[in-house]
Amino acid sequence: MADLNKLLTPLFLSEKEIRKIIELMFFSYRDFTAGPDAILDKINFGRAHHRVIYFVGKKKQITIKELLSILQITKQSLSRVLNQLVDEKFILVSIGNDKRTKNLSLTKKGLDLEKKLSAIQINKIKNIIKFADEDNINGFKIILYEMLNEKNKKKFDQINDL
């Protein structure tokens, strides 16, 4: 285990120290996604499928337009992934308020996959933060939030009813 004192430095961070943060983010994200990636790989899905499953599961009856806004991907990119998820019965597409609007929801199969993928990440976070105090956790959340641009802060606030 790394000596945490070697990771902690004064507030005036040098480029070398900031590069450590970049590397920590890279390695932590890779490890954070490794468990779900292994499950997705077995069913020939990738992280794009995971993102769609996650956000369709987060909001019942999310529209394609809302999902595109959250994911910030092209219709073409979403179409490829969404078609696979619909064809393999993870997502159900229904007509919204008007015929032009399409709502997405998870099927039982989709809910099961979302719970399985999220459980891995939830447990990973729980196991890590159980050793941190509330100030550490809140500080971490503040740093992550402040890394978002204004548009993404608004989107995060919106999907979390903040």
Q: Provide the residue ranges of all domains of the chain, joining segments of one domain with +.
A: 15-131
Closest to 152 in 3D by CA, of 74, 78, 70, 73:
70
pLDDT confidence of residue 100: 86
Q: Which residues pair with 62 in a beta bridge?
A: 104
Q: What whole-number distance in Å separates Cα of residue 3 and Cα of residue 146?
A: 26
Q: What is the reported pLDDT for 7?
A: 62
Beta strands in the chain (DSSP E): 62-63, 91-95, 102-106
| Residues of the chain below pLDDT 50 | none
Q: CB atoms < 10 A from the CB of 2, how many?
A: 7
Q: Indicate the CATH number of 15-131 among 3.40.50.300, 1.20.120.330, 1.10.10.10, 3.40.50.970.
A: 1.10.10.10
Give 81: exposed, middle or buried? Use CB within 10 Å, 0-12, 13-18, 19+.
buried
Q: Over pLDDT 90: what percentage of the chain?
A: 80
